Amino acid sequence: MTSRRHILPAGQGAAFVLKAQETATLRNPYGTQVVDTWALSLSDPLEYSAMEHTRSVNSNLFLERGMCVMSIQRRTMMTMTEDTTPGRHDTLLCPCNAAIYRELGCKGHHRSCTDNFHEAIAEHGISLLFTPASLNVFMNVPVADDGALDRLPPVSKPGDHVAFRAEMDLLLVLSACPQDVTPINGSDHTPRDIEVDIA
Ligand SMILES: [Zn+2]
């Protein structure tokens, strides 16, 4: 089977059509980059990936290998078929947006995963008036016994990858998170490229 290799540049977003049974592999060349991830049904973009149903069906706060990404209609959209990381992909925190960068003291425009999502779907002729919660691949948000969340650098190693198999025809939307104020994309606060293979 032939595969298509794409580079998702640091801080940028892109959307890829995945037919049912096609697989997208997200490779983290430096190990430090978070990828905010969404799926939209190709037949109805209002059927989007829903972290509340994903947590409910998997009975887990994290997405691990073998688990499914569910839609807002509670249908299976994707299965995580491969994962070379310790397997703690966050489902809890929101995609970054302009308000977060203002809270962090950034002046003027700062790229965000929310903007990347809307720009990427617009290139496929889709517009949504809201931003679904993202699956935050490679993002390390440990949950303490008292419920407290932390935001730590990824635990993935250079070259680690995850793979998703599409279970329906969908648009896979990815954002190489541009966060460079907090250490969520590594302790050196430097967003980096991600490699995407579609097969
Ligand atoms: Zn982000």
> Residues 6 or more apart from 130 whose CB is under 8 A from it?
none
Cα 1 to ligand 1 centroid, rounded to whole Å: 32
Cα 179 to ligand 1 centroid, rounded to whole Å: 5
Is the alpha carbon torsion for 142, 187, 97, 47 positive or negative? negative
Q: How distant, in Å, are the alpha carbons of 55, 150, 156 from that of 32? A: 24, 16, 7
Cα 116 to ligand 1 centroid, rounded to whole Å: 9
Statement: the pTM of the whole predicted model exceeds 0.75: yes
Cα 144 to ligand 1 centroid, rounded to whole Å: 22
Residue 136 CA to residue 151 CA, distance in Å, equals 12
The CB density around residue 46, as the number of other CB atoms within 10 Å, is 12
Cα 186 to ligand 1 centroid, rounded to whole Å: 13
> Residues 6 or more apart from 125 whose CB is under 8 A from it?
none
Cα 147 to ligand 1 centroid, rounded to whole Å: 22
Cα 96 to ligand 1 centroid, rounded to whole Å: 4
Which range marks the domain in which residue 121 is found? 4-198
Q: Looking at residue 1, what is its pLDDT? A: 54
DSSP 31-53: S---EEEEEEESS-TTSBB-HHH
Q: How distant, in Å, are the alpha carbons of 14, 48, 115, 123, 127 from that of 130? A: 18, 11, 11, 17, 9
Query: What does the pLDDT profile of the chain (199 residues) look like in tens digits?
Result: 567 999 999 999 999 999 999 999 999 999 999 999 999 999 999 999 999 999 999 999 999 999 999 999 999 999 999 999 999 899 999 999 999 999 999 999 999 999 999 999 999 999 999 999 999 999 999 999 999 999 999 999 999 999 999 999 999 999 999 999 999 999 999 999 999 999 9
Cα 48 to ligand 1 centroid, rounded to whole Å: 18
Residues near ion ligand 1 (CB < 5 Å) are 96, 113, 177, 179
* Count of the separate structural domains present in the chain: 1
Q: Which of 91, 116, 107 is nearest to 178 (CA)?
A: 116
Q: Which of 29, 33, 36 is nearest to 186 (CA)?
A: 33
